[in-house]
Amino acid sequence: MKKTNLSEHSGTFPKAGKYKVGIVVSEWNPAVTDALKDGAISSLLEYGVSEQNIAVHSVPGSFELPLGAAMLFDADEELDGVICLGCVIQGETRHFEFISQAVASGAMKVGLDYGSPVIFGVLTCDTLEQALDRSGGKHGNKGVEAAYTVLKMIELQRKLK
């Protein structure tokens, strides 16, 4: 099976000069989440978001990401969207399932409640190696994908208004 860079995409790149984006990142698994954050920030800058329009805040773990996203929207009415970045790695118990489902559902709920894009950039992997492969390794960087996605969703929201 050929290994590919999962972060490659063929869509048009948004012009994001005036967009304001929040990033909330889990402190758990920092080797992975810091790389996701770096990928997201560098992509946002590449797409034209100014550094002062990127607000980065951390939360203790992935479970806290949805509440962190809601807090960002409450703190800044001009925020266009939020990227949630984290990493949950399968262990020996069912904890992985509960956390992964709660974070995915919570991020979707925040987006629906606030009517703004909230992007699920959380890796849910079986091993640390898989997580590293998806946070700047041979499978790309999910943070890059999350940045592209939030900008495309902001663009769609603005187009429809």
Q: Are the beta carbons of 26 and 58 closer than 8 angstroms?
A: yes
Tell me whether residue 57 is one of the annotated catalytic residues: no
Q: Are the beta carbons of 142 and 135 closer than 8 angstroms?
A: yes
Report the alpha-carbon distance of residue 53 to residue 103 in Å, rounded.
25
Q: Is 56 exposed, middle or buried (0-12, 13-18, 19+ CB in 10 A)?
A: middle
Report the alpha-carbon distance of residue 75 to residue 33 in Å, rounded.
23
SS3 (DSSP) at 107: helix
Q: Show which residues are catalytic.
A: 95
